A and B are shown apart, each in its own frame.
Chain A
C-alpha cells in the first residue's frame, strides 16, 4: 500500500512540476464565492472519504447522493414557477396559463403589502398594490386566486413569512369551500422568519413571538394538515442579499437547527414536525460549487438530525429542497443571455438532486416576467428533463474527485460557522448583534468590487458589452387600476360580512395571543368570517409589538 502511495505522490509531483513550468492565464482561479480552486483533483484529495459513511446510496443515510431511492427515474422534480401580480383575477389567469403549458405545481408571489401585513387600502400600501406579486386581503381574494383549480389535487407553495399563518388559513378555508379536507391539501408556506431578519427583511413581529407563531403552525399542521410543508428554510434570499455559497449553506442550516430546537423547546416530539420541514436554495453561477453545496446540505442535515436531535423517523433526516435560479446573477444588459445563465444554474440544481425548481425569466431585472419569458423559463426545465439525458442516472457527479473534495470542504466550512454562531449565543442572538447582516453585506460589497476591478467577468456588463444597446423584449406592465380595484374589493368585503362576528373573533384572537393556546384555530375562524389580513395582523401587533432593525451598512 505504502509503495502505491509513494508512487502516487511521485506522479502527482511530476504533474505539478510540469504544470508549474507552463503559463497560466492571468486570471483568478476562484469560485463565484471567491474560494480558490486547484488545477486538478485526484484520488488522494478524497483519500479519507468513506463511501458507506460519507456518501451511501440514494435514499440511504446520510443521503449525500439523494433523498429518494429512485430520484428522477421515479418522478421528475416539480416544475414550480413562482408567479403573482395584480389582482387575484389576473394571477388566476396566469396560473391557468402555466398549468395548460405543463407546469406541475403552483407557487404564489404576494405583493409587498400582503407580505408586510397591510390591507390594500392602508396608506402604506399606496403605490405597492399588486406590483411585485398578487394582492390578497381576505379569504375572498384567495377564493378568486384559486378559482377553477382543485386544491385537493394540486400542491401550492406560498412565499409568505411574517403573516404565513394567515395566508395558510385563507388557503385552507378556500379548499374547505371547494369540498377538500385539511388533510387532503398539500403545499408549502415559506414561514422562515429567521432569514427575514438575516437577509430578506420582511418582518413584522420581534423574534420571540414570531417563533411562537411558527411552533403553533408546526403543532397544528402535524395534527390537522399532515401533508403541509410547514417551513421552507430558505437560503435563497441570503444568497440574493450577497452571501457566499458557504454562508448560504451554513446560515440556512443554522436557521433549520434553530427551528428544530424551538419545536423541541415548545414540547413537540421532533419526529412529529421535522418530516415536514423543507429547504429552499439558490442556484448561482458557479456550477460545481452549487452541486457540492446541495450534497453537503443533505449530509449535514441528516447527521445533525439523527445524532444531535435524536430524530428516529427516517423522514426527519431527509433534506428535501426547492431551488430557484439566481435572480441576482441576471443582467439588464443583453437580457437574452439570461436564458443561458438560467439553464446552467437549473442544470446544477438537477445534478444536485433538487425536489422542485423555479427557473427565472430573462426579463426579471427589468420588470415582472412576461408570458413569453416565463414560457421559455419553463421550457428550459422541460429541456433538461426530457432532452439532455441527465435524469437517467442518480447523482451522476458522485465520486468525482473534485465534487467530493468540494462537498467535504463546504461541510467543514459550514461547521466553522455553526461553532461561531453557537459562541454568539445562537441564531437569534447573532441576528440581534447584526452578525449575519454584516457578513452578508461585506461579501456583497467584495463581489461588487471584484466585478468593477474586472477580476470577475460578467458577460455583457464588464466584458463583451454592446454600445447603445436597445432592449428588444416586451415587459409586463401593472395597470394603476389594480390598486383602485383592490381597494374597492376589500371595502366590499368589509361591507358584506358579519362585522359583529369579525369583531368577536378578533377579540378572541387577541386573548389567545396573550395566552399560550395554539393560535391557528382562531386565525382560521377569523379567516372564515372574512376578517382581513390587516385586521388580524393589527390585533397581533397590539400584543406582540413590532420589530425594528438598527440601520447599519
Chain B
C-alpha cells in the first residue's frame, strides 16, 4: 500500500486579504485518476489549481508532486506538471509551431526529442494542419487546443486543466473528452468544469468545492450510490389511497405528486416487482414504474445551495 501519490495536497488555505478563498482543502491524486473538480463560480476551483501549479503560493498547507515538495523545490516539482489555465496562455504573435517549441524548451524537453514531442502533441490535439499559422488568427476552439497541447507537450505526470472544453464545438468537445480519457491511462488528471455530464463522462473521481471548502469527494462508483435514491415513481390509472400503497411490502412511505403519480420510498431491496404484482392484482392500471435517480446536478445543487431545499425541482423533473 505504499503507492506514491502523484499529487498530495494537505490542508491548503489561501487568503486574499481578509477573504478566505480556499479553506482546508486536502486531496490526493493517484496515477490513472481523472479527478473532476466542480464548484460554482468563485468557489475556489481556480485558486486551488493555481496553487497546485505554483502560480499562487498557499497561505498554509503543503503540496507534493510525486513526493517532491512544490514550495521547497518548485523547479523539480514543476517539471512533472502540465497546466492549462482558464484563459490559455498563448502568445498571439507566434505561430503554433514556434509557440509549442518554446514551451517545450521552457519545460526542458531535450533538443533531440523536441520535434517528436511537438508532433505527438499536435496530433493528439488535432493541430496537424495549423502548425504554421499564427495563434492570433486561430479560432477560439483551436486556441484552446493549442493550450491543451502546451499542457501535455512535455509528457508530465500530472495534467491540470481548468475548464478545457470552454468555447469548443460539440465535435471538438467529444474529441477533447476522448483525449482526456486517453491521457488518464498513464497520467493523473485534474479537470475543473461547469459541465456536469462531462464529469460523469470522463472522470473516475469527483470533488465538489463550495465557498472554499471541499463539500463532496468520492469516486465515481461512490457517486453512483449517492445518485441512487431509495424512491420509485409510479403512475396509476385507478387512484388508490396512500394507505393502500404503504401496505405494499417494502414500501415505507408514499406521497401523491399529481393526479396518478406517486412517489414511493422504500427500504432495503428494490420492491418494484412486488409493486407491479399488487398493482396488477388490484387493477390499479399501472402505467409507469421507474426508479428515481438523482442527477449529479441535484447533488451539486444540494451541496452548494444549502439554503434552498431542492426537493421540489427533483420531483418536477421526475414527473
Real complex partners, A and B? no
Interface residues of B (CB under 8 A from A): none
List residues of chain A with CB under 8 Å of any chain B CB. none
